[in-house]
Amino acid sequence: MRRRRRAFTLIELLVVIAIIGVLIALLMPAVQAAREAARRAQCQNNLRQIGLAATSYQTARNVFPMSATAGAGRGVNHSWLTMVLPELEQRPLFNAYNFQWENYAATNRTAVATQVSTYFCPSSPLATAPVASEQVRKADGTFYPAGSAFARNHYAANWGGSQASLGADFTTTKTNYRGMMLTVRIVSPRGPTFCIRPQDVRDGLSNTILAGEKRDGQGWAVGGYAGSEFDVAPAPLTPDAPDIRTIVTGSYHPGQVNFVFGDGSVHALRETVARKVWYGLLTRDGHEAVGGDAY
């Protein structure tokens, strides 16, 4: 006679459910950590591709791209991220962009609203929707005209300076326009600015930051303030705040920010890096001796 199988009691069922719940609770942090590691690796790969694009641009022209265009009339405030699109296999988008008109002009509306995956950090929790042009602030405090929208970006050039009070210490001790990509033909304390050549980076390409992460750049086609450049802050990773996340470096990777250097190498800088080391990596000709183990 076949024995009758005993059913689970309610208490036994609850115990099993509790055990499964505990196992899930133990596994979730590991799963989340693995996902963040994958996102961080993708972000670093984005920067690597951007660095290669800037290097390809430099090889063809013997200068790194200007961080933003300046001057009077049309075609002002274009971004270096727009200039290197062909090197990122984005030639059709580059061809659709008209440098003879402002980035917010009607002729550029379709192009500037196009999301470029290489310019977007997968760790960002912010909305992916384009930023309305009337929300994009210029360096003089005014805003772009309404009518366009800019696809976001999370990477910006090191121009080696700050226009914000947060970076006053760097400006006082190092002056401005000390980075690797500059808005050209601006009169600085060191004379008119110019496109940087490899030989102008006296500290060495492997010791100078080319570009880094921002928590929320307002558009890859937005030149300068809040877009294609980052202002120097006292540390690579500052407390997150809406009024500064578009200006200074920062990330959503715990405790670190990713940067690509002039030689194309990608490094993660800790939030605790010494200020002297951080400032040294931002200047192209400060004669600072910075070892790889310092960051």
How many CB atoms sit inside 10 A of residue 190's CB?
11
Determine which of 94-103, 183-192, 226-235 has the lowest per-residue pLDDT on average: 183-192
- Regarding pTM above 0.85, the answer is yes
**Residue-by-residue DSSP string for the chain:** -PPPPPPPPHHHHHHHHHHHHHHHHHHHHHHHHHHHHHHHHHHHHHHHHHHHHHHHHHHHHSSPPPSB--SSSSS-S-BHHHHTGGGGT-HHHHHH--TTS-TTSGGGHHHHTS--GGGS-TT--S--SPEEGGGPBPTTS-BPPSS-EE--EEEEEE-S--SSGGGHHHHHHH-S--SSS--SS-EETTEE--PPPGGG-TT-GGGSEEEEEEEEES-TT--STTTTEEB--SSSS----TTTTTTBB--SSTTEEEEEETTS-EEEEETT--HHHHHHHH-SSS-----GGG-
pLDDT at residue 99 tops 80: yes
Question: Does 116 score more than 90 pLDDT?
Answer: yes
Average pLDDT over residues 135-155: 91
* Cα 93 from Cα 143, distance rounded (Å): 25
Please give the pLDDT value at position 225.
78
**pLDDT digits 0-9 by tens, 30-48:** 556 678 888 999 999 999 9
User: CB atoms < 10 A from the CB of 75, how many?
Assistant: 15
Which residue did the predictor score with more confidence, 240 or 31? 240
Lookup: tokens for 129: 């929707």
Average of per-residue pLDDT across 46-74:
92
pLDDT confidence of 70, banded at 50, 70, 90? confident
Q: What is the pLDDT of residue 27?
A: 65
Please provide residue 144's backbone torsions phi and psi, each rounded to the nearest 5 degrees. Answer: -65, 155
Residue 270 — very low, low, confident or very high, per pLDDT cuts 50/70/90? very high
Q: Answer whether residue 231 shows pLDDT above 60.
A: yes
